[in-house]
Structure 1
């Protein structure tokens, strides 16, 4: 069965739903495909105990679909997921979202000037515009280790709610964002919790609203407070490090444990975490922090690189994600059959303004290269991106052309600019993080204020685009 639509969006998380609402309101014929059985993306998948957003809640909704209040002044997973369903309830939009159907390949047809998308259900779609909203945090990363574990093992992003860990011995591998949220919850019910730490994270206290400000005022306050933090990444991190170290000293009395929890790299080189209850959890008698990475599994225990064996009844991986995993599952083929991920593997991931790629006409990437943020809400970037995409679509209509394609030089210029501006920042200061590619180049983060990206994308820069010439020959056959 084949269907035709004007705009096809792949992914129904925050990015895809935001784009769908914005374009739908502008009168575009939109279709959204979601591989999972329900919408929500990251906030559908991550249901582990304690899961919540560490971004100030006033910033964690789009400006055109504000969420007025969150319980406890925080945005928890159930509340965020409910908000995403509210987004999808836009009149006339919900029936345009198809869940349980995964795209298996996207191919640009040079003769018809259309995108052709195949799915795992045997259906195909033809679209004038393609929007990739696949997200970066949805393919769990589990470390490769020797041996086997006899008990239940679960990744935080694939939580098993039938698993009762009350009175059990639990080993948690990882000390990233999900770990510092789940460890305090597990410490309350487990007999013993072993926290396996490879690298100590920088942790700042959570900031709670002190004044009952109206939502617009709270949003403005939180926005500029977050923007003011950028200087710690691009300039001197001393003040932010001092604040984090005070938080550590206030939370941990034991000098030896405090030393183990003190990072050996500059703040911001890896993702900064926010928590008020992680350090108190580590002080509990039933919690042990092991400052050594996992080495192997041995039946009913975990063996760390220091040679110690830690008995466990259950194993929890809080080990993050394969950042490009989602894109790897959906091959995208542009002009001449070039595959997007293969090009990025050879040349490094780069796109003009993080949105458009030469050789891929009428295609827009949401959350693309160098559009992540380390200091504030990424929703500000996503909103700028689908507004830019909408402006590009409007230009194709006004000029009565079928397609527009970014010039070859524009993505390279943007990538070079991002690499140059990232030099000397915290992100390139020497630690190993998912922000950097194999060559040590920042391909993930926008190294500037979020408002400047909004300014850069405020209009569609037609001068960087050309009209592709339709081919008289059929496009190469794409094999998903």
Structure 2
């Protein structure tokens, strides 16, 4: 909340929870808008703001690791064939999803096959039964997590270079930390937005 007297004249603060009222945002077409943070809400809001605003500023402390969602449309036929064609399909799908967040053997078939299940380093965030049991096991466990996570984080950084045309902006948008240090985000359009707002 901004107290009276602190906010500069003519600046309006919009709380994302309250929404914008009109989803078309036409009243922002000649405005410069700043959004603070690169968390889950910002990653969803920024592409929409960029469609309507004259200019968008993204103010960040730490860039988010934004990966592809890897989602696909599900038609009725494939849904019944791949997911709901047998009793207990929901439980099996949940079990399959959770098994991707352990250091144990992963299922042969990835039933969910989305960004989360393609990010094995997130096991450092969620914990798992194969984690260290004794304090002296923690360094080796952490080294293993970094080894598992590094290919994915390298891919996320390469994705930034592929999608953000301005090299300086791309460099500022790269996550240089393991997946489990800040909530991983998944959005197909967020990074490309920086080509519009520059």
TM-score, normalised to structure 1's length?
0.27
Report deviation, 1:233: 3.4
Q: Equivalents in 1 of 2:115, 2:54: separation in Å? A: 40
Please show how residues 360-375 of structure 1 align to structure 2 within 5 Å: none
Report deviation, 1:268: 2.1
Q: Which runs of 5 or more residues in structure 2 are unaligned?
A: 84-89, 94-110, 125-144
Shift in alpha-carbon separation, 1:175–1:143, aligned structure 2, 3 A = farther
Please show how residues 114-133 of structure 1 align to structure 2 within 5 Å: none
Q: Which structure would you say has the larger Rg?
A: 1
Shift in alpha-carbon separation, 1:224–1:271, aligned structure 2, 3 A = closer
Please show how residues 251-400 of structure 1 align to structure 2 within 5 Å: 251-284=163-196, 287-288=197-198
Q: Equivalents in 1 of 2:169, 2:114: separation in Å? A: 35
Deviation readout 1:208-261 (Å, 9 max, x if unpaired): 227752157347311798456444433221122122123212211322111111
Q: Which runs of 5 or more residues in structure 1 are unaligned?
A: 1-141, 289-480
Please show how residues 7-86 of structure 1 align to structure 2 within 5 Å: none
Shift in alpha-carbon separation, 1:210–1:227, aligned structure 2, 3 A = same
Report deviation, 1:190: 1.0
Q: Indicate the SS of the match to 1:157.
A: coil
Q: Indicate the SS of the match to 1:167.
A: coil
Deviation readout 1:168-213 (Å, 9 max, x if unpaired): 1211111111111111111111111111112111010121227752
Correspondent of 1:170 among 25, 33, 43: 33
Quote the residue 1:58 is aligned against: none
Please show how residues 133-172 of structure 1 align to structure 2 within 5 Å: 147-150=6-9, 151-161=11-21, 164-172=27-35
1:245 aligns to 2:141 (yes or no) = no
Q: Equivalents in 2 of 1:225, 1:283: separation in Å? A: 23
Quote the residue 2:123 is aligned against: 233
Q: Equivalents in 2 of 1:232, 1:182: separation in Å? A: 24
- Higher RCO structure (Cα 8 Å, ≥6 apart): 2
Q: Equivalents in 2 of 1:174, 1:225: separation in Å? A: 22
Q: Equivalents in 2 of 1:266, 1:143: separation in Å? A: 34
Quote the residue 1:181 is aligned against: 44
Quote the residue 1:396 is aligned against: none
Shift in alpha-carbon separation, 1:186–1:225, aligned structure 2, 3 A = closer
Report deviation, 1:281: 0.9
TM-score, normalised to structure 2's length?
0.61
Report deviation, 1:272: 0.4
Write 1 or 2 for the structure with the bigger share of strand. Answer: 1
Report deviation, 1:157: 1.3
Q: CA RMSD in A?
A: 3.0
Q: Indicate the SS of the match to 2:112.
A: helix
Report deviation, 1:158: 1.7
Q: Equivalents in 2 of 1:258, 1:143: separation in Å? A: 32
Quote the residue 1:203 is aligned against: 66
Report deviation, 1:156: 1.0
1:222 aligns to 2:112 (yes or no) = yes
Report deviation, 1:147: 2.9
